[in-house]
Chain A
Amino acid sequence: MWDKLKDILLQVQKPARYVGGEYNLPDMDKPCKERVLLCFSDKYEVGMSNIGTRILYHMLNDMQDIVCERCYAPDLDMAQLLRKNALPLFSIETKRDAKSFDLIGFSVQFELQFTNIVYMLDLMGIPYYASERGDEYPPIVAGGPCVVNPMPFAPFFDAVLIGEGEKNLKELTLLHIECKERGLSKQEFLLRASKLDGVYVPSLNNPTKRAVVKDLDSAYYPTKILVPNCDIVHDRSSIELFRGCANGCRFCQAGFYYRPIRERSVDTLVRQACELMDSTGYDELGLLSLSTSDYSGLKELVDRIKVEADKRKIKVALPSLRLDSFEAEIYEEIQGASLTFAPEAGTQRLRDVINKNINEENILSSLTAAMKYGVKNVKLYFIMGLPTETQEDLQGIVDIVHLIKSLHAQYGTSKLLNITVSTSIFIPKPLTPFQWERQISMQEMLDKQAFMREKLRLKNVKYSWHGAESSIIEAVLARGDKSLAKTIVKAYELGCVFDSWSENFDYGKWLDAFELSGVDYQKFLDGFDEDEELPWDIIDNGVTKTYLLKERHKAYEGKCTPNCLKKCNGCGANRLERCRI
């Protein structure tokens, strides 16, 4: 295999993506009972930036008897050459044929990566549907955030891991070793797997409760991580402050999915940060969570980490700062001359509907402080097409931009202020209070974007927006059922791959795929009735349907729900594990 690959590697762009050899590579030659292939359905530079797969990769390699290797979706030039040379998709570490592994896991991060699952299976020479794969093929499982509703891609997998891989992937791998040693068939293994926490077996359609790590502070977290030899998207080391989110923004799937909230202690985080800084050589350390400023010990953590980072000439990056908890002091120390805010909606009324618990006063005081500290760039993120949105709400976005400009004129200490406004299209995702809402139509999306383009034609203001066509497909794939599997296959056969890369996305081919597979996609864009069974109802993600419904009704009444740090709102995630804030 390696000899043949030598010829190919110099004909493709960025061959370093395919050869591995990174620093901190685990021992691939240790005696093992199980070889696991962890696949990521996007390119190396995206996959290597994903913290979840990094955790699982190192966790498995740190276990006795298990060796885990990686495989990323090869770029189109590489795929063409693999086919031309009749070579199968291979693992990066030992260049083994993917089929030869004992267990294959896919991380599914984003709806527009679904065709890449089929693309990779095709390159591996593996039949797409689990029902067409006998015992000669290893069990193929999926995990990642898209398992909130696994139905559209479930038919491709023998099992779908719902929840946190530190728990269910570990247990599944150990179970597979045991079943293999006892000579059990794949079907017998899957039957046993379905009894584990957070393992959904599509062929058994077993009701599944999400698996969660009980104590995040003592949970596995790698501090000797792979350091890539080539450029990747997020090229830094990161510590994970906490999992879950206390804010309850009603449009946000991650905010509900990752509950219950569990924090790591400051001591643990400082230790992990120091080990990471020393073992990676990265220039930057990221503090990750869904809402970093809600971390209870943020001030102490930043103070202690800054001392260690300064010693090593390392920069500390703080993403995900919420507008309401924006602390000028932290900003002054860390953020430099650029500021990112996500008010999400243009008016207070709509911010109340979506439960974005910030008000005009917060925005005003935070921005005034930022201007005084000499901010030069402000990035603003908004969502368009939210439930109950009116023209007035869109105008509100424009008004915020004008407000920032006037604040800069009044208080700004920098000469120039650049404002970047980005809008995305709201998609009513499963496991949110808005899961029953309809997706706005293509025409509505285009009209809203045209309005913003016109109104934001201002000096030093840049406006960017998310594609309407890809939002439609993302919505269908997020909200659909098992019938979509054949559409995904058809779309792939028509040439759809790397759909999340705008240059590759082809709306026309997707429409053809729906037609050829006989799927009426409009039904997934229309709203669902509140008493209707939803495609993902068999999965218990923690937060109850009753709570989501209650939140939906509060949204329509314009009532806010307080942050969980203030009081428990009884979302139901506590059934999985107690919130530890």
Chain B
Amino acid sequence: MIILKHFKVDDVSYVSHKDILRVLQRGLKRANVDVKYSQGYVPHMLTYTTTPVPLGVQSVAEYFAVECNGVDKDEMLVRYNASMPTGMRAVASFYRDKNPNLAAIVTASDYEAVCAKVLPKEIESIAECQSYIISTSKKGEVVQKDVAPLIYGLRVENNKLFMRLASGNANLRADSVVNHLNEKFGIDIKINDICRKAQLVGEKGNFIDVEELLK
């Protein structure tokens, strides 16, 4: 199995996850990669991704695993980059005998958000709260959610906000957090100016970057 770490930036950040899956699979066809298919009634390509970023959020740390024959990880990187739309470029590739099931083991993501203006330092204190309720959207409905256990860190440097948020099975959407901060602090961080920088495994205080894990 080959795992690619790739970007999802610029125009394609506005493409939904469902559509991205099709873009990835078409890319593999163009790349002439011999992908393995499921054995079911309607065979489908054996490809795997991690929890997607919300629509509009950019990422330089997406992971895409594919079961395939006849191509090594370095060749795969080259072919992938020649076959994807601009905005989706692979930066590293890894080989594993078995599926590492990244979707199940990723527990957090690091995000960086850029604002046109300097951001207030008070934002950082939210990460220290025992309980912190924000409004989030769930299946089109606004719900109140205690996000304190899902925020692992918030740091402000001038006009940049760094967030470490729960990802995977227990997930906190970066856009929900930013929308809340925009409203509470009267700031204007655009959703498209948020970028996922890394995906992590482990637990609070002991996180490891997925890329390190795969190396």
Question: B28 on the interface (CB 8 Å rule)?
Answer: yes
Q: Which residue on chain A has the smallest CB distance to residue B175?
A: A10
Contacting A at CB under 8 A, from B156-215, are 190-193
Once A25-B86, A312-B29 are accepted as A-B contacts, the answer to whether A229 and B56 lie under 8 Å apart by CB is no
A-binding segment of B9-17, B92-100, B106-114, B147-155 = B9-17
Q: Are A229 and B27 also in contact (CB < 8 A) when A10-B56, A15-B14, A20-B11 are?
A: no
| A369 on the B face (CB < 8 A) | no
- Are A21 and B26 closer than 8 Å at their CB atoms? no
Contact of B78 with A by CB under 8 A: no
The interface residues of chain B lying within 8 Å CB-to-CB of A280 are: 26, 30
The answer to whether B55 has its CB under 8 Å from any CB of chain A is: yes
Distance of B9 from chain A, by nearest CB (Å): 10
Q: B30 contacts A23, CB within 8 Å? A: yes
In the complex, whether B23 has a CB less than 8 A from a CB of chain A is: yes
Q: Which residues of A contact B25 (CB under 8 A)?
A: 281
The reply to whether A230 and B30 form a contact with Cβ atoms under 8 Å apart is no
Contact B87 A21 (CB under 8 A): yes
From residue B84, how far is it (CB to closest CB) to chain A in Å?
A: 7
Mark contacts of B1-40 with chain A using CB atoms, 8 A cut-off: 1 yes-contact digit, 0 otherwise.
0000000001110111001101101111110100000000
Chain A: interface residue total (CB-CB under 8 A): 26
Distance from B128 Cβ to chain A, minimum over Cβ atoms (Å): 30
Residues of A280-317 at the interface with B, using a CB-CB cut-off of 8 Å, are 280-283, 312-313
Using Cβ atoms and an 8 Å threshold, which residues of chain A touch B11? 19-21, 229
Q: How far is the CA of A15 from the CA of B192 in the complex (A)?
A: 12
One of A231, A281, A282 near B19 (C-beta < 8 A): A231
Asked if B120 CB lies within 8 Å of chain A CBs, one says: no
Interface string of B67-90 (1 = CB under 8 A from A): 000000000000000011111000
Task: Report yes or no: A281 in contact with B12, Cβ–Cβ below 8 A.
Answer: no
> A15 near B85 (CB under 8 angstroms)?
no
Residues A281 and B55 in contact in the complex (CB < 8 Å), given A7-B190, A9-B14? no
Partner of B15, one of A25, A230, A279: A230
* A21 adjacent to B86 (CB under 8 Å): yes
- B14 near A278: Cβ-Cβ < 8 Å: no
Q: In the complex, which of the residues B20, B30, B86 has the most CB atoms of chain A within 10 Å of its own CB atom?
A: B30
A281: which B residues are within 8 A, CB to CB?
25-30, 83
Do residues B14 and A16 form an inter-chain contact, with CB atoms below 8 A? yes
A22 close to B (CB within 8 Å): yes
A21-B30 CB under 8 A given contacts A6-B192, A16-B19, A281-B83:
no
**Least CB separation from A24: chain B residue:** B85
Cα of A25 to Cα of B11 in the assembled complex, Å: 12
What is the chain B residue whose CB lies nearest that of A21? B11
CA distance A23 to B27 in the complex (A): 9
Report yes or no: A229 in contact with B85, Cβ–Cβ below 8 A.
yes
Contact of B14 among A19, A22, A227, A282 (CB under 8 A): A19
A346 CA to B16 CA in the complex, in Å? 46
The answer on a CB contact under 8 Å between A22 and B55 is no
B32: chain A residues at CB < 8 Å are 278
CB-CB under 8 A from B16, the residues of chain A are 14, 16, 230
**Closest CB in chain B relative to A440 CB, distance in Å:** 43
Q: Which of B30, B85, B190, B192 makes the CB contact (< 8 A) with A25?
A: B85
Label chain A's interface by main secondary structure.
loop
Cα–Cα, bound, A470→B128 (Å): 62
The answer for the CA separation of A136 and B25 in the assembled complex, in Å, is: 46
Q: Residues 1-19 of chain A: 1 if any B CB is under 8 Å from the residue's CB, otherwise 0?
A: 0000011011000111011
CA distance A12 to B26 in the complex (A): 26
In-complex Cβ contact of B55 among A10, A23, A279 (8 A):
A10
- Contacting pair A16 B15 (CB below 8 A): yes
A230 to B55, CA, bound (A): 13
Instruction: For the complex formed, measure the closest distance between the CB of A221 and the CB atoms of chain B, giving whole angstroms.
Output: 19
- Which residues in B have their C-beta under 8 angstroms from that of A229? 11-12, 15, 19-20, 23, 85
A15 to chain B, nearest CB (A): 4
Q: How far is the CB of B107 from chain A (nearest CB, A)?
A: 27
In the complex, what distance in Å separates the CA atom of A22 from the CA atom of B29? 16
Query: How far, in whole Å, are A15 and B191 apart by their CA atoms in the complex?
Result: 13
A15 vs B12: C-alpha distance when bound (angstroms): 10
Q: How distant is the Cα of A143 from the Cα of B12 in the complex, in angstroms?
A: 31
User: Which A residues touch B55, using CB under 8 A?
Assistant: 10, 15
Given A9-B14, A15-B14: A278 touches B30 (CB 8 Å cut-off): yes
Taking the closest CB of chain A, its distance from the CB of B92, in whole angstroms, is: 22
Residue from B10, B20, B85 in contact with A22 in the complex, judged by beta carbons closer than 8 Å: B85
B190 / chain A contacts, CB cutoff of 8 Å: 6-7
Contact with B along A206-248 (1 / 0, CB 8 A): 0000000000000000000001011100000000000000000
**Which among B85, B190, B193 has the greatest number of chain A C-beta atoms within 10 A?**
B85
- CB-CB < 8 A to A313: which residues of B? 29
What distance in Å separates the Cβ of B41 from its nearest Cβ neighbour in chain A? 14
Once the chains bind, are B29 and A10 in contact (CB under 8 Å)? Answer: no
Closest B residue to A229 by CB, please name it.
B15
Closest-CB distance, A345 to chain B (whole angstroms): 38
Instruction: Write out the residue numbers on chain A whose beta carbons fall within 8 Å of the beta carbon of B84.
Output: 23
Report whether B29 and A230 are in contact in the complex, using a CB–CB cutoff of 8 Å: no
Is A230 a contact of B19 with CB atoms below 8 Å? yes
A316 to chain B, nearest CB (A): 15
Bound-state Cα–Cα, A267 to B16, Å: 39
Shortest Cβ gap from A484 to chain B (Å): 38
Could you say which of A7, A19, A20, A279 contacts B30, with CB atoms under 8 Å apart?
A279
- Whether B26 contacts A227 by the Cβ 8 Å rule is yes
What residue of chain A has the Cβ atom nearest to residue B20's Cβ?
A: A229
| A-B CB contact pairs (8 Å), 19 listed | A6-B190, A10-B55, A15-B56, A16-B15, A20-B11, A21-B10, A21-B85, A23-B23, A25-B85, A229-B12, A229-B23, A230-B15, A231-B19, A231-B22, A278-B32, A279-B30, A281-B27, A281-B30, A313-B29
Q: Across the A-B interface, give the 8 residue pairs with the lowest CB-CB distance, nearest first.
A: A21-B11, A281-B26, A281-B29, A281-B30, A15-B14, A19-B11, A229-B15, A23-B85
User: A278-B30, A283-B29 are known contacts; what are 17 more A-B pairs with Cβ within 8 Å?
Assistant: A6-B190, A10-B55, A16-B16, A18-B14, A19-B14, A21-B86, A22-B85, A23-B30, A23-B85, A25-B85, A25-B86, A227-B26, A229-B15, A229-B20, A280-B26, A281-B26, A282-B29
